[in-house]
């Protein structure tokens, strides 16, 4: 069975041209939606993927109608492949998992996804390093200020229980019990 998938990103955009082309290509059923391609949880796409059986073919006009992100595209192609179905793109005939070159197509798409993921990780790491150099602190804001931590540690050192110190500052006992470790860690990073 040939299924079509048509997608545009906004309500203001028109699906008609894609639908007409998919009908002309022989699609028996067309799943269409107006959702961002960055959203991998699209209802019509999920229905289509759930309906696929061995020998079925999914047609779309171009890659970015199926997914904008190479990692999402690879995931969708794998799901289609696991169902025993294939994908063909009308405007990108080199993306055809129904041909003998399907393994090569999946390899190339997988390589592109891996390459993009590596770039994202590198850019994120570089951004974090620049932010740290500017003094940006990551993670949750501490529950106790530096002054409160010092007072809490003094109370614990004076024999007060974690629970009693916690109730004074309105935090949990585990927050107080971690203070020695966090203070030591703080001092070692200066």
The residues annotated as belonging to the active site are 9
Strands 57-60 and 2-8: parallel
Helix H or strand E encompassing 158: none
Integer Cα distance of 61 and 5 in angstroms? 8
Integer Cα distance of 162 and 75 in angstroms? 49
For residues 17-50, b (16+ Cβ closer than 10 Å) or e, as one string? ebbebbeebebeebbbbbbebeebebebbeebbe
Return all residues near 148 (Cβ < 8 A) that are at least 6 apart.
169
């Amino acid at each position: 069975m040939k299924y079509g998938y048509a997608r545009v990103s906004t309500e203001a955009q028109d699906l008609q041209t894609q639908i007409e082309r998919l009908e002309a290509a022989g699609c028996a059923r067309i799943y269409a939606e107006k959702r961002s391609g960055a959203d991998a949880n699209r209802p019509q796409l999920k229905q289509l993927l759930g309906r696929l059986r061995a020998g079925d073919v999914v047609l779309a006009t171009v890659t970015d109608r199926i997914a904008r992100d190479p990692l999402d595209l690879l995931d969708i192609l794998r799901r289609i492949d696991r169902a025993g179905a294939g994908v063909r793109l009308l405007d990108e005939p080199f993306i055809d998992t129904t041909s003998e070159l399907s393994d090569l197509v999946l390899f190339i798409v997988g390589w592109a996804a891996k390459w993009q993921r590596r770039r994202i990780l590198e850019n994120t790491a570089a951004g974090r390093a620049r932010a740290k150099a500017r003094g940006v602190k990551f993670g949750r804001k501490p529950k106790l200020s530096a002054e409160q931590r010092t007072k809490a540690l003094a109370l614990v050192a004076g024999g007060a229980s974690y629970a009693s110190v916690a109730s004074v500052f309105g935090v949990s006992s585990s927050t107080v019990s971690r203070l020695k470790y966090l203070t030591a860690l703080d001092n070692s990073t200066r």
